[in-house]
Amino acid sequence: MTDAGNGTILVAIDGSDNSLLAAGVGARLARLLNAHLGFIHVLDVPTLSFWVGVEARMKDDIRDQAEARLNEITDRIREFCDIVPEFYIVEGLPEQEIMRVVKESDNALMVVAGRHGVATEKKSHPRWRRATGRLTMKLGEHLPVPLVVVPPDVPLSHICPAMAEYRRPDETTEPHAGE
């Protein structure tokens, strides 16, 4: 079991495969450090003030979807890694909200984030992909705690087995099936 007195590892979850992999790395670190594990999801809620009532319903739907996904991840982490994470669902800009949660916490140990998030996964051309995503660059500049940036090909030994399916092997160093 984990002890919040040893600090909290906060994992940024945006729904991308790399952020789900980061959840697995965060769970593994929490287990190793006997720390508490928290997931933060920042809602991307469109502004539709010109349609009365639609914005509130969309917000509720988006929040419900995020909560269902975080519950699913939490259940898997609990089952496979014996860690019981808590999660935060907030609205705003991810870098600002993650920063706010860390600063308001008196025991934030570190933040774990995927190298690439949803925005990068949607881009089809590899030339458009950077070494790190926009969020990790901004967090790295301003966070008062360490930032662990998780690559898509992180070694399996660094991941809670519940989330290993989101790992993308580095095709230049790992053999393909059947070789």
Written as one string, the DSSP assignment of 31-71 is HHHT-EEEEEEEE-----TTSTTHHHHHHHHHHHHHHHHHH
**How many independent structural domains does the chain possess?**
1
Q: Is the dihedral of CA 162, 72, 40, 104 positive or negative?
A: negative
Tell me which H or E stretch contains 99. Answer: helix 94-104
Instruction: Classify residue 65: in a domain, yes or no.
Output: yes
Question: Model pTM?
Answer: 0.80
Q: Report, as an integer, the average pLDDT of 82-89.
A: 91
Give the pLDDT score at 49. 57
Instruction: Classify residue 21: in a domain, yes or no.
Output: yes
Residue 115, domain extent:
4-164
Q: Report, as an integer, the average pLDDT of 132-142.
A: 81
pLDDT-based confidence at 103, cuts 50/70/90? very high
User: Are 140 and 45 contacting, i.e. CB atoms less than 8 angstroms apart?
Assistant: no
